[in-house]
Structure 1
Amino acid sequence: MNYTKLSKEFIYQISSLILAVIVVHAFYLSIVRPEAATIIKEQQAMIQQDVNYVPERSFYVIIRDFEQESCFILMFWAFSIMFMKARNSYNERKLFTEDLIPIKPREKITPANSTEFVRQLEDLDGSKQDLFLPRTLINGLKRFITTRNVQDVSISTHNMVESEADRLESELSMIRYIAWAIPSIGFIGTVRGIGGALSLAHRAVDG
């Protein structure tokens, strides 16, 4: 497990969340809530002039509450995480097209020449060394140098692949949690809106 990579991803996720909060909240303070307040004030004035007036639904009024703001923050945060995952996936797939272990025709990989292959892999750029394929190849070659057993290398590589798959699966749990949280927060806003409407129901009864 590459802890440097994990720390970079953690910092990226925290930074993207903070940025989403700042941008969305600034948009709400500068545009959404002032526009919504102006529209509501105009609609109230129209209702006082004409009791049969039916206010038009405004986008700013619909999204002005804190629940909608939270949903937008989570949405942009999820997009930033998915962008990072897509970029990492692209870099991983791109590396599969490169010849990381240059083997000549009829040449075999032996414990003797594996050391040179490991050195070439370790000389890759830092951004490439963090990727899965170079790490797996280095681990397999070092295992081959130590044990000189192909079966042992196969088992070790298989375990590493399964471990990487589990790690990727666990990282996607954040996206699944956000996908669950957004409608849940929206439901809270719906309940709050219904409660506010019921609290004013006596006015309609009184005429």
Structure 2
Amino acid sequence: MKQGSLYETFVQLAALVFAFIVVQAVYTTVIRPIADDIQTFQAEQQQIDENFVPERSVFVILKDIEQQACITLMLWATFIIGLKTQQTIKQRGLLDRTLVQVNEGMSVLPEDSRNYARPVQALPEQEQDFLLPRALLAGLHRFQTT
């Protein structure tokens, strides 16, 4: 497993723990107490007036563990999507740069591929792990060997 992949896994697990703690705190301090108060009030009203129709409350709907799990996973997924979006934006910056200097109509020979690979190899190490430089280097290496 690469170091970047291990770091990304750790960050995602930390985000899951953070989402769980935040959602659990909100449920314990806000949602469940309000839902219990609403249900108690509605039960009292039904005993007083048999024609009383209880209104639906968001707190009563959200109080169950299934909804808590869904909200926790939604926050976690949102964080992961944000992380992937940030990585994609960084990698899109490479698409605007010219990594291989080849003029239009110019023929490239296999023995020249090492010279074309040098600017890509000169990128900072973090950028060399991006998809475009890896694909270019793999293509140039394959072109050189065939």
TM-score above 0.5, yes or no: yes
The 2-side partners of 1:125 and 1:80 are apart by 27
Quote the residue 1:164 is aligned against: none
Question: C-alpha distance in 1, partners of 2:123/2:57?
Answer: 56
Give the C-alpha shift of residue 65 in structure 1: 0.6
Question: Secondary structure at 1:99's aligned position in 2?
Answer: coil
SS of residue paired to 1:56: coil
Q: Deviations over 1:63-86 (max 9, x none)?
A: 001011011111222222222333
When the two structures are superposed, what TM-score results if normalisation uses the length of structure 1?
Answer: 0.60
CA gap 1:109/1:15 in 2 versus in 1, 3 angstroms: farther
Unaligned runs of at least 5 residues, structure 1: 150-207
Contact 1:5/1:130, CA 8 A, preserved across alignment: no
**When the two structures are superposed, what TM-score results if normalisation uses the length of structure 2?**
0.81
What is the RMSD computed on CA atoms of the aligned residues? 2.4
- Tell me the residue number matched to 1:131: 130
Tell me how far apart the structure 1 counterparts of residues 33 and 124 of structure 2 sit (CA, whole Å). Answer: 50
> 2:40 aligns to what SS in structure 1?
helix
Deviation string for 1:33-83 (max 9, x for gaps)?
111112122222222322222211111011001011011111222222222
Gaps of 5+ in 2: none
Specify the SS of the correspondent of 2:133: helix
Seq. identity, %: 36
Q: Distance in 1 between matches of 2:19 and 2:130?
A: 28
Alignment match, 1:64: 63
How far apart are residue 113 of structure 1 and its match?
A: 4.4
Aligned residues: 146
**Where in structure 2 are the equivalents of 1:96-111 lying within 5 Å?**
96-103=95-102, 108-111=107-110
